[in-house]
Amino acid sequence: MALWDQWVEAALSKLASRSLLRSTRPISLSPTPSIDGLETFDGPRHFDRSSVEVDMDECTFSQWLSELPNLAGGETRGKDKNVSRKLLLFSGNDYMGLSFHPSLRKAAAKAAQEHGMGPRGSALVCGYTNYHQLLEKSLAELKMKEDCLLCPTGFAANLAFMSALGSISSLLSINGKPSQDARIAIFSDALNHASIIDGIRLVERLQEAKVFVYKHGDMVHLNTLLSGCKIEKKVVITDTLFSMDGDFAPIADLVNLRKKHNFLLAVDDAHSMLVCGKNGGGILEEYGCESDVDICIGTLSKAVGCQGGFIACSNKWKQLVQSRGRSFIFSTSLPVPVVAACHAALFVARKEKWRQIAIWNRVHEFNVLTQMNITSPIISLVIGSEKAALSASRHMLQSGFHITAIRPPTVPPNSCRLRITLSASHSFDDVKRLVSALSRWFSFPAVGDNAQIASKL
């Protein structure tokens, strides 16, 4: 990607000539963060259940039911808020079940006791510490990139990258307004996350980028669009694991197209990090193509079990994003206890290999019990209308499962669904109970008798 390297270098030179390059200078907090004393386990423990078992007070439960179809209002009267109902959570994104791990709690509590929330400000002002620096280094190593930049959320990470990307054409133009051929052409999967879409809209409006949306996962369509585009600065961006459909992007095919068209390849690996790859590096590690992807955007609020986002990239791209990424520049940086918990989570995930095995066991068990061909811990049961999806959600709620209906604007009209997520903290019994409750609402393919099912598990 020699051309993109040249364009980024030229943009950085232009910023340097105007004294507009920004850098983070870590504030040193003592003692230095350490993983010493963090406990790991060789299998599930009682605390793992806390990430999938939730309590809801009876008043809230009844109110939720009353807002769904087929139930008359007024059931909330007389309900005792002190009485709770236990629900099994199948709607979160804590894939590894790390959010209640003692080592994460210990790391966060220790940091809070020693440093409070840490210095509060943007990373470029005073909100960047040796804790943040250590986490960036760990994430860069996990993603096999030269460097990494922390952001407040995964949403902010996508916006920061896109706004920095768009600034290249403006910086390299003579009067700040790029010509038609000097613009950036962005190619985006039709089902990309809202944060990518909003970032693209920002670039399209402010930097007049040319935007192409290719059919979901359709490499023939993408190849046609790339071949017909005369703009030199091409970028393809995609989710790796799509959050509402549960399918993976065709990474190997994208890598082959990158070699053919020399575009910059950026991915949002939010949902496959720690879930995929021997070391938890995500789907890029699974395919062994880390070096073929230029920018890897991710989140710390899903499988890591904490909060935050990041951009794993080269040193030069990091310089550009921290100088031109608006959502990074103008946001307060992550609190130190959260950063400490994230760093502990990466350590725990690396040590507790059973968690990744467990979540893929749950995927296999769901497949066998339903004969559905799901390929990830995200299960999308498309129903259609909002009313039908809400009724299905009500049925699952009454059956003891916290599963909410997904409706527009998250998904297109008439494609409302139940989005179910599996976790390493779920058990086989949880999956059996889930399938039993779902089968009273959904028609799964015939799976034979219990003996046949048991032989496959």
The pLDDT tens digits of the residues spanning 130-172 come to 999 999 999 999 999 999 999 999 999 999 999 999 999 989 9
Does residue 22 form part of some domain? no
Q: Identify the band that residue 450 occupies on the pLDDT scale cut at 50, 70 and 90.
A: low
Question: Which tokens belong to 396?
Answer: 């699952």
- 121 and 211 in a single domain? The answer is yes
Inform me whether the pLDDT recorded for 185 exceeds 80.
yes
Residue after which a domain boundary falls, among 335, 350, 365: 350
Evaluate whether 341 touches 100 at the Cβ level (below 8 Å).
no
Report the number of distinct structural domains present in the chain. Answer: 2
How many Å separate Cα 275 from the centre of its chain? Answer: 11
The pLDDT tens digits of the residues spanning 119-137 come to 999 999 999 999 999 999 9
Does residue 27 form part of some domain? no
pLDDT of residue 71: 46
Q: Identify the band that residue 77 occupies on the pLDDT scale cut at 50, 70 and 90.
A: very low
This prediction's pTM? 0.93
Does residue 166 form part of some domain? yes
Share of the chain above pLDDT 70, in %: 94
Q: Identify the band that residue 106 occupies on the pLDDT scale cut at 50, 70 and 90.
A: very high
Question: Which tokens belong to 388?
Answer: 């039908």
- 372 and 428 in a single domain? The answer is yes
pLDDT of residue 399: 93
Q: Rounded to the nearest 5°, which phi and psi values hold at 189?
A: -65, 140
Q: Identify the band that residue 453 occupies on the pLDDT scale cut at 50, 70 and 90.
A: low
- 298 and 416 in a single domain? The answer is no
Residue 411 sits in a domain whose CATH number is 3.90.1150.10
- Domain range enclosing 148: 103-350
Evaluate whether 115 touches 29 at the Cβ level (below 8 Å).
yes
pLDDT of residue 70: 62
Distance CA 271, CA 42 (A): 24
Residue partners of 83: CB distance under 8 A and separation at least 6: 57, 58
Write out the chain in H/E/C secondary structure: CHHHHHHHHHHHHHHHHCCCCCCCCCECCCCCCCCCCCCCCCCCCHHHHHHCEEEEEHHHHHHHHHCCCCCCCCCCCCCCCCCEEEEEECCCCCCCCCCCCHHHHHHHHHHHHHHCCCCCCECCCCCCEHHHHHHHHHHHHHCCCCEEEEECCHHHHHHHHHHHHHHHHHHHCCCCCCCCCCCEEEEEECCCCHHHHHHHHHHHHHCCCEEEEECCCCHHHHHHHHHHCCCCEEEEEEECECCCCCCECCHHHHHHHHHHHCCEEEEECCCCCCCCCCCCCCHHHHHCCHHHCCEEEEECCCCCCCCCEEEEECHHHHHHHHHHCHHHHCCECCCHHHHHHHHHHHHHHHHCCHHHHHHHHHHHHHHHHHCCCCCCCEEEEEEECHHHHHHHHHHHHHCCEECCEECCCCCCCCCEEEEEECCCCCCHHHHHHHHHHHHCCCCCCCCCCHHHHHHHC
Kindly report whether the peptide bond that precedes residue 31 is cis, defined as omega within 30 degrees of 0: yes
- 176 and 235 in a single domain? The answer is yes
Residue after which a domain boundary falls, among 350, 381, 408: 350
Distance CA 337, CA 340 (A): 5
Q: What's the distance, Cα to Cα, between the start and end of the chain in Å?
A: 46
Does residue 94 form part of some domain? no
- 362 and 441 in a single domain? The answer is yes
Residue partners of 75: CB distance under 8 A and separation at least 6: 62, 63, 65, 66
Judged by average pLDDT, the poorest of 92-96, 384-388, 423-427 is 384-388
Evaluate whether 147 touches 315 at the Cβ level (below 8 Å).
yes
pLDDT of residue 290: 96
- 344 and 358 in a single domain? The answer is no
Residue after which a domain boundary falls, among 325, 350, 375: 350
Inform me whether the pLDDT recorded for 78 exceeds 90.
no
Inform me whether the pLDDT recorded for 224 exceeds 90.
yes
Question: Which tokens belong to 270?
Answer: 């939010």
Residue 295 sits in a domain whose CATH number is 3.40.640.10
- 141 and 272 in a single domain? The answer is yes
Best-predicted range by mean pLDDT (28-32, 300-304, 389-393): 300-304
Check residue 305 and give left, alpha or beta (phi > 0: left; psi -120 to 50: alpha).
left
Best-predicted range by mean pLDDT (75-79, 101-105, 396-400): 101-105
Judged by average pLDDT, the poorest of 82-96, 292-306, 345-359, 363-377 is 82-96
Does residue 39 form part of some domain? no
Share of the chain above pLDDT 90, in %: 83
- 381 and 284 in a single domain? The answer is no
For 429-453, what is the mean pLDDT? 79
The pLDDT tens digits of the residues spanning 1-27 come to 689 999 999 999 999 999 999 999 999
- 245 and 388 in a single domain? The answer is no
Question: Which tokens belong to 214?
Answer: 């290719």
- 442 and 366 in a single domain? The answer is yes
Does residue 299 form part of some domain? yes
Question: Which tokens belong to 284?
Answer: 């890029």
pLDDT of residue 33: 82
Does residue 124 form part of some domain? yes
- 382 and 346 in a single domain? The answer is no
- 329 and 193 in a single domain? The answer is yes
Does residue 9 form part of some domain? no
The pLDDT tens digits of the residues spanning 322-346 come to 999 999 999 999 999 999 999 999 9
